[in-house]
Amino acid sequence: MRHTLAVLVENNPGVLARVAGLFRRRGFNIESLTVGETEDPAVSRMTIVVEGDDRVLEQVTKQLRKLIEVLKVQDITKEEHVDRELVLVKVNAEPARRAEIIQIVEIFRAHIVDIGRKTLIVEVTGDEGKVRALVNALEPFGIRELVRTGKVAMLRGTKDIATNSKEAE
């Protein structure tokens, strides 16, 4: 099963290498990992999507918590949360077929962010389902390039992933 982890880390050089190294060394599979500064510049937040059964996930979270620079690890898969990913897709777009593409883009509430002589770049933000559907719809035109940020996620409502401390086992 796929799990989404929200991980707060100290914003130090090398911390990404520690986290990535841990996954590699212990044979955990990262599907995506995003990282960026939070409201507190001393703290970065990672959203890690990882594949594994409960036992693997227990090890992943415990091993992550063991890293000195990791402040908090929370598996938010089963909690109410919002997740988003931003994807840029460069599609073939001969002038004759552009209208069709623009229509699809509108339906998905995506954006066209670049127009070339023979190409368009489409920007879409959304959850996995939406991104997949749009990519499928654009496929017939010929996708030249695709780049995605990886997932970011946040709990809904007043539940926060706060920086106070690592929760005790």
Partner 1 sequence: MREPFLWVEYRVASKLEYLGECCLVITVGEALIRCLEKEGVELVFGYPGGAILPVYDALYNAKKIKHVLVRHEQGAVHAANGYARATGRVGVCFATSGPGATNLVSGIATAYMDSIPVVLFTGQVPTSQVGTDAFQEVDITGITMPITKHNFLVKEPATVPAVVKKAFYLARSGRPGPVLIDLPRDVSSAVIRFSYPEKVELKGYKPTYRGHPTQIAQAAKLIAKANRPVILAGGGVVSSGATPELVKLAETIAAPVACTLMGLGGFPGDHPFFLGMAGLHGTRYANLAITNADLLIGLGVRFADRVTGSPARFAPHAQIIHVDIDPAEIGKNVKPYLPIVGDVKQVLEALLPQVVKREGGEWLETIAGYKRDFPLTYNREEGFKPQYVIERLSSLTGGESIVVTDVGQHQMWVAQYYCFKYPRTLVTSGGLGCMGYGLPAAIGVKLGRPEKQVLLVSGDGSFQMMMPELGTLVEQGLDVKIFILNNRRLGMVRQLQEFYCDKRYSAVDFGFCPDFAALAGVYGIAGYTVETAAQFDGVVEDALAREGPVLVNCLIDPGENVLPMVLAGRGLDEAVS
Task: Return the number of other C-beta atoms located less than 10 Å from residue 129's C-beta.
Answer: 8
Indicate the residue type of 127.
D
- Least Å distance, CB 76 to partner 1, is 19
Strand, coil or helix: what is 142? coil
Q: Within 13 Å and on the Cβ side, how many CA atoms surround 108?
A: 26
Q: Scan residues 63-122 and list those touching partner 1 (CB under 8 A).
A: 63, 65-71
Q: Within 13 Å and on the Cβ side, how many CA atoms surround 49?
A: 14
Nearer to partner 1, 35 or 105 (CB): 35
Q: Which stretch binds partner 1 (CB under 8 A): 44-52, 60-68, 78-86, 136-144?
A: 60-68
Q: Which residue, 132, 149, 155, is CA-closest to 82?
A: 155
The yes or no reply on residue 36 touching partner 1 (CB under 8 A) is: no
The yes or no reply on residue 163 touching partner 1 (CB under 8 A) is: yes
The single residue among 39, 53, 80, 169 that binds partner 1, judged by CB under 8 A, is: 169
Q: Which stretch binds partner 1 (CB under 8 A): 87-95, 102-110, 143-151, 158-166?
A: 158-166
Q: Please tell me the count of residues contacting partner 1 according to CB under 8 A.
A: 26
3-class DSSP string for 11-75: CCCCHHHHHHHHHHHCCCEEEEEEEEECCCCCEEEEEEEEECCHHHHHHHHHHHHHCCCEEEEEE
Nearer to partner 1, 17 or 96 (CB): 17
- Least Å distance, CB 159 to partner 1, is 21
The yes or no reply on residue 25 touching partner 1 (CB under 8 A) is: yes
Indicate the residue type of 38.
T
Nearer to partner 1, 55 or 117 (CB): 55
- Is the Cβ–Cβ distance between 123 and 60 less than 8 Å? no
Q: Which residues in this chain contact partner 1 in the complex, by CB under 8 A? A: 9-10, 13-14, 17-18, 21-22, 25, 55, 58-59, 62-63, 65-71, 163, 165-166, 168-169
